[in-house]
Structure 1
Amino acid sequence: MVMESRSLWRNRDFTIFWFAQTLSVAGDSFSYVALPLLVLHATGSVTQMGLLTGVAAAGSIIAGIFAGVVADRVRRRTLLIVCDVARFILYASIPVVWWFSPQIWLLYVVVPLAAAFAMVFRVGYVAAVPYLVGADKITEANGRLSGTYAAAWVGGPMLAGIISGVFGPTAAVAIDASTFAVSAIGLSFIRPRTRPSEAPSRVSARDFFIGAQFLWKHPVLRSLTVLLAFLAFLTTGLTDIYVFYVGHHLNQPDRTVGYVLAAGAVGTIIAAVLVSYARRALGFGACWIGSYALSGFAIACVGLSTSVPVIAGLVTVVVFGTSMAGICSLSLRQEVTPDHLLGRVTSAFWTIHMSLGPIGAAVLTVGVARYGVRALLLAAGTICVLIAVAASLTPIRQARPEAAPAMGD
């Protein structure tokens, strides 16, 4: 891992990486709105929306089994470029096919494959950031990336809603596809570096379990992984519920759905600005636990409101809390994990904590169809708060877990 400390503004490779990924995420925000709208327009079924989300999450989980091994074995820049090119091809196929005739089955092929490449990309991306910046800049770099990503998400969903309303959701998906191509070009300008490799040269079955073993041995990471699995069950399908609630239950147009999701992204911007200060002042445990308690309360309140501005404000609070906790969790893993294990630890973490996500997305959306939005969001929010309370009884409550003695390999 690169250990020098210098201003991120003077770090050429990080700046290119930052720009390319912000652009790519801006495109992602289009599909974030457009794909649920494609399903909603074609089927009118919240259950179908939840099923597609569940299939996508399953694709991520399967890819996560081997993503870490790949990220620790190949040049991470090359890996990121390949993933971007693959997602460009996959997402570009949707508007091409839709031009002739809508084919819902295509979404069930493209979306999980794209999610699998996205998982590999995310693992490589997380493993690359500590090598691009100094060790003491990791939280700042993650905050900056998250902040600009969120800024892209503010305008992206609004534009996606407008474009979907005028030209159809496939136009928004086409824009997303093009941003992956531009991101791949941008990444090609990062100077390749040779990083030290302490892992064995021969890949063995044990490689797939090394990351999980590291997580299990670290008390804070172990607790985070277990609790986040239950939180993923509760939150993976939330976007589908928001889209269904605003677009169908409240009978609002596509652009209003985009405004609500864009307002939520403001929460990430606020979290990105505050996270490094909050973590220094309050400590890791207080930030993580308080953030999820706040998010759970806001989730419960969404189901109690029929006012679009109030719902948008509550979604902003939800995203603020999950983003604050997420940046803290991500930074901690990067700080305590050796570079040559970071890919495997990251993929193990995401694979395990996302394992209940597909089931949760299906259960929540089926529950909405049967019991209504209010009952499901009240239940989900209440359980989130209870999980945050449970975290206060685990090693997560520590203020400075990154300062603990380094673990052996």
Structure 2
Amino acid sequence: MLELAKNSETNASAVRQQRPGTMSIWRNRTFMFVFSSYGLSLLGNTFHSIALNLWVLQTTGSAKLMSVVLITHLVISMLFGSFAGTIADRSDRRTLMWATDLVRFVLVAAIAVLIYLPGIPFIFIVILTGIVAFAGVLRTPAFQASLFDIVGKEQLTQAASAISVADNIIRISGFALGGIAVAAFGGVFAIAIDAVTFLLSAILLLFAGKFRYAAAKDITKPKASFKQDLLDGFRYVWNDSFARAAVILLPLVMFFFLSTFMLIQVMAVQVWKAEPFVFGLMEACIPLGYVAGSILIMRFDHRLKNRGKWIIGSTILMGPLFIAIAQIPSAAIALPFILLVGFLFSFSTTIIYIVLRVVIDPALQGRVFGLLGALTSVAPPIGLAVFSTLSDLYGPAIIITISGTAMLLMGIIAYSRMKSIRQFK
């Protein structure tokens, strides 16, 4: 562990001295194949989620059964995130990624067949959905931990920012396309198309070629047990000040940001009585702001100094903006404030993901991102449940104000206590 900590410090020092690379990430053949594969895989995830949920709602009319599918995904992510990260660190990450894509192709195709056949017990679809979710949990830390080895330190900011932009665009379009496909062609067709995206993703990964990580493994060292690797991951996060701070800060940011934005939607309907056109603009403001922020991060790359202060500063500023939004009398006036919140959200999340990829030893990144993925997947649903209940009791404006105040205090505490993030250059 001492050696890994030294490697972390070496990487942290290196990122401060990095210089712009001579080759664009768009000329990196491996990155382009992996980037395209990630896009298709993410499209498959979002498409599958909305298509299956809409099919359940249309065919059964039961919100309870739809919630079973959602809870299945949540529980799988929460329970197996750290295990998945350990598996990613012990495996050839490229192989793990294309193998899980192929597994999801087969399983999602099977789900399409099952919903086509009449009289199939719903439990079978839930079981297959759980396995699909588990395969997705395995793939996520493998992808997150591979980026450093594909593009190197010099192009890491550009690559991570490009992925952030694509991530938002694909998530939005995936939900929209999934809903359109179910409405126009039915659940069977929509889920079958979803299966194809996973197959294409696996094929692109096969064309990507081997990652440098696979070639760089030290085969002279005896391989530790799975349990030892799993525990080493937890110890590393606990002992490394930056990793520990990130694992605390990011889930909290997700908790408050996503829950508060949900209440802003409630406020738009219940208080502002927003017209459909204005409501649609409001829905677009967060992703547009996020994409704009990610593009700026990618554009300025090595000229962006004091990255730690950008992370915490953007977190602090979101608090007063939420408080201001709660006092605004109409949705139209709130639009620029919501856009700015999305912009700040990109700085509080995208930069920290970039830094994590640089300061953490590549051999441990799967475990760190696996644990982080588990926590960030659990925090928003808990926040949504708590905030929606409080909103019903006291109204959305009051809860948004309280949430904004809590986020402001959280940012101030982070600036005071999380020295490893604050001082990062």
Amino acid at match of 2:39: T
1:406 is matched with none
Distance 2:53 2:407 in 1: 24
Name which of 8, 14, 18 aligns with 2:31.
14
Q: 8 Å contact 2:255–2:380 — kept in the other structure?
A: yes
Distance 1:287 1:36 in 2: 38
1:77 is matched with 94
1:56 is matched with 73
Q: 8 Å contact 1:264–1:313 — kept in the other structure?
A: no
Q: Is structure 2 residue 295 aligned with structure 1 residue 273?
A: yes
Distance 1:98 1:235, change over 3 A: farther
Q: 8 Å contact 1:95–1:170 — kept in the other structure?
A: yes
Amino acid at match of 2:240: H
2:371 is matched with 348
Q: Is structure 2 residue 145 aligned with structure 1 residue 122?
A: no
Q: Greater shift after overlay, 36-45 or 63-72?
A: 36-45
Q: 8 Å contact 1:14–1:132 — kept in the other structure?
A: yes
Distance 2:169 2:217 in 1: 36
C-alpha displacement at 1:115, in angstroms? 3.5
Output aligned runs, 1:263-342, within 5 Å: 263-276=285-298, 277=300, 280-297=303-320, 316-342=339-365
Calculate the aligned-residue CA RMSD, in Å.
Answer: 4.2
Amino acid at match of 2:167: Y
Distance 1:374 1:85, change over 3 A: farther
Amino acid at match of 1:359: I
Q: 8 Å contact 2:86–2:226 — kept in the other structure?
A: no
Distance 1:245 1:264 in 2: 16
Distance 1:306 1:66, change over 3 A: farther
2:153 is matched with 135
Distance 2:412 2:345 in 1: 15
Alpha-carbon displacement from aligned partner over 1:247-303 (angstroms, at most 9, x marks no partner): 9997999x9988765553323321221124278434222221233234445556666
Distance 1:56 1:373, change over 3 A: farther
2:407 is matched with 384
1:407 is matched with none
2:215 is matched with 195
Distance 1:135 1:67 in 2: 25
Distance 1:182 1:175 in 2: 11
Output aligned runs, 1:150-229, within 5 Å: 150-167=168-185, 172-193=190-211, 194-198=214-218, 200-229=222-251
C-alpha displacement at 1:189, in angstroms? 0.7
Q: 8 Å contact 1:54–1:358 — kept in the other structure?
A: no
Distance 1:223 1:134 in 2: 24
Alpha-carbon displacement from aligned partner over 1:298-340 (angstroms, at most 9, x marks no partner): 5566667797767776665444333332221111111111222
C-alpha displacement at 1:125, in angstroms? 0.5
Distance 1:5 1:162 in 2: 43
Q: 8 Å contact 1:297–1:385 — kept in the other structure?
A: yes
Distance 1:376 1:138 in 2: 38
Alpha-carbon displacement from aligned partner over 1:125-149 (angstroms, at most 9, x marks no partner): 0111111112221111101122233
C-alpha displacement at 1:14, in angstroms? 0.7
Secondary structure, counterpart of 1:188 in structure 2: helix
2:424 is matched with 401
Distance 1:379 1:141 in 2: 36
2:386 is matched with 363
Distance 1:180 1:309 in 2: 40
Structure 2: unaligned runs, 5 residues or longer: 1-10, 12-17
Q: Which has the larger radius of gyration?
A: 2
Secondary structure, counterpart of 1:120 in structure 2: helix
Amino acid at match of 1:188: L
Q: 8 Å contact 1:285–1:396 — kept in the other structure?
A: no
Q: Is structure 2 residue 174 aligned with structure 1 residue 149?
A: no
Alpha-carbon displacement from aligned partner over 1:184-203 (angstroms, at most 9, x marks no partner): 11111111243322464132
Amino acid at match of 1:273: I
Distance 1:333 1:150 in 2: 20
Distance 1:308 1:361, change over 3 A: same
Secondary structure, counterpart of 2:216 in structure 1: coil
Q: 8 Å contact 2:357–2:365 — kept in the other structure?
A: yes
Q: Percent identity?
A: 25
C-alpha displacement at 1:12, in angstroms? 0.8
Distance 1:35 1:137, change over 3 A: same
Distance 2:122 2:196 in 1: 22
Distance 1:239 1:103 in 2: 37
